Amino acid sequence: MKFKKTHDIDQISISLEGKQVVIGGWVEDLRKLGKMSFLTVRDVTGLAQIIVKDIALPEDLTRQTVIMVQGVVQGTKARDFAYEIKAEAIDILTKAVHPLPIDPIGRLESNIDNRLNSRALDLRNQRVAAIFKIRSTVLASLRKTFLEKRFIEITTPKIIGSASEGGANLFSLEYFGKKAYLAQSPQLYKEQMTIGLERVFEIASFYRAEKSHTGRHLSEFTSIDLEAAFMDYTDVIQILEDLVVQVFKDVIANCQTELAILERKLEVPKTPFDRITYSQIISELSQKGIDLKFGDDLMDSHLKLVGESHPGLFFLLDWPMSLKPFYIHPRDDDPKISRSFDLQYGYLELSSGGRRLHDPSTLKARIAEQGLDPASFEDHLRAFDWGMPPHSGWGMGLDRLMTVIIGTDNVREVVLYPRDPERLSP
């Protein structure tokens, strides 16, 4: 590199008029007009117009070729630009092949499979880059709220020695001659961590070997997890609501450019989110001619109907115990009903959580009741004898939350390199 980049494009403005700058970026367009050429160059922060007049234009400037430009900032008559850069020197760093496998400007639409096969190039599309800039902002927002609420960030193991949590849908691997599994959630570990750290969170990749082919399932996904001692499920529901609202506020405040590129109008959700019980949903569905009885699971087709009458964010509370994992705590007033909830966005489940059992003997009984092998839970159950506090928590799919923010029905749009039963590369 002959020059050193002095500015990102969005750091240049007409206030630097007459000053020399060096930018680096990708050739987006080139127009020749007599002895002058107009070159547009894009970096991750924006687009700049370069005037090439008194110096020779390098030959063979294919689109997406990487260049550095040294030049002087000056005023412009161009409608789309607030300034232009009069080039003094142009250095070609890497030529891009022609033709490219997809059109990174997005004028020609490519299907999602072709785009994922060329994901690095796909990110030169401003719409795609905008999604992943927003994702980075969402992650920062989530962690800020967790830390403000005095949660401690933990990292749980992803390689686990026993097929806990039910055991279905786990990827298995050989681990130095032993059989191991990839964790599908930090559930048991985060519960144990409440003994020493009380309030913990983790945002990490987890794995599910499920042969799903939908727009909302992936084999590798990012999970946002929280667990808190001395809290009931109503407390962690409130935290979840605060967290989601703050995410919307931070994206609206910090991603104006990206939302504009996506033509996405985002509004802070109204609070409090509706809190609707499972039993209310059952009677709503019965009014629509769907006859379910207490204990029946809500199938996709039912949730679509629910989503029609409740299109936004709402909590679906108090599921039957029989539909919930072994670690969920019943209500005191009716042990058939659990202290559990889902956060729904219409028909889409974003998060699931609840109060957990903390009494070791009740927990042991529930594991046996659900037909699970208590031996798989030996390590976990031991911890409940050491002073396990009452605790509640939830897990939320970051990728699903991102689909709601971006406004897409395919989770592959918001994951850089999605993994599903058919896709293992690039």
Q: Which residues are annotated as a binding site?
A: 165, 208-210, 216-218, 349, 352, 356, 397-400
Contact 98, 62 (CB under 8 A): yes
Sole binder of its own copies in the list 167, 272, 335, 421 (CB under 8 A): 421
Sole binder of its own copies in the list 75, 161, 335, 407 (CB under 8 A): 161
Q: How far is the CB of 281 from its own copies (least distance, A)?
A: 28
Interaction between residue 28 and its own copies (CB under 8 A): no
Draw the binding track, 360-399, toward its own copies (x: CB under 8 A; -: no contact): -------------------xx-xxxxxxxxx---------
Q: 389: cis peptide before it, omega within 30°?
A: no
Sole binder of its own copies in the list 32, 53, 211, 270 (CB under 8 A): 211
Structure tokens at 133: 């800039």
Give, as ranges, the residues between 98 and 117 that touch its own copies (CB under 8 A): 100-101, 104
Interaction between residue 64 and its own copies (CB under 8 A): yes
Interaction between residue 26 and its own copies (CB under 8 A): yes
Sole binder of its own copies in the list 358, 366, 400, 412 (CB under 8 A): 358
Q: Which is nearer to its own copies, 124 or 310 (CB)?
A: 124
The candidate with the shortest Cα–Cα distance to 221, out of 426, 423, 425, 417, is: 417
Query: What's the residue count for the chain?
Result: 426
The values of phi and psi at residue 397, to 5°, are -80, 115
How many amino acids of this chain bind its own copies (CB under 8 A)?
Answer: 99
Q: Which is nearer to its own copies, 219 or 351 (CB)?
A: 219
Long-range contacts of 159-164 (CB under 8 A, 24+ apart): 159/183, 162/376, 162/377, 162/379, 163/376, 164/188, 164/376, 164/377, 164/380
CA-to-CA dists, residue 130 to 135, 186, 250, 407, angstroms: 9, 30, 15, 13
Draw the binding track, 280-319, toward its own copies (x: CB under 8 A; -: no contact): ----------------------------------------
Sole binder of its own copies in the list 61, 105, 204, 305 (CB under 8 A): 204
Q: Which is nearer to its own copies, 8 or 296 (CB)?
A: 8
Q: Which is nearer to its own copies, 6 or 280 (CB)?
A: 6
The candidate with the shortest Cα–Cα distance to 104, out of 133, 131, 134, 129, is: 129
Interaction between residue 411 and its own copies (CB under 8 A): no
Q: How far is the CB of 89 from its own copies (least distance, A)?
A: 16
Q: Which is nearer to its own copies, 193 or 298 (CB)?
A: 193
Query: How far apart (Å, rounded) are the C-alpha atoms in residues 408 and 400?
Result: 10
Query: How far apart (Å, rounded) are the C-alpha atoms in residues 74 and 65?
Result: 24
Interaction between residue 40 and its own copies (CB under 8 A): no
Question: What angle, 0 to 180 degrees and rounded to 10, lies between the N-to-C axes of helices 278-287 and 300-309?
Answer: 90
Q: Which stretch binds its own copies (CB under 8 A): 74-82, 136-144, 262-270, 362-370?
A: 136-144
3-class secondary structure, 308: helix
DSSP letter for 413, please. G
Interaction between residue 178 and its own copies (CB under 8 A): yes
Interaction between residue 220 and its own copies (CB under 8 A): yes
Contact 73, 83 (CB under 8 A): yes
Query: How far apart (Å, rounded) are the C-alpha atoms in residues 343 and 226?
Result: 14
List the binding residues for L-aspartate: 165, 208, 352, 356
How far apart are the two ends of the chain, measured CA to CA in Å?
A: 29
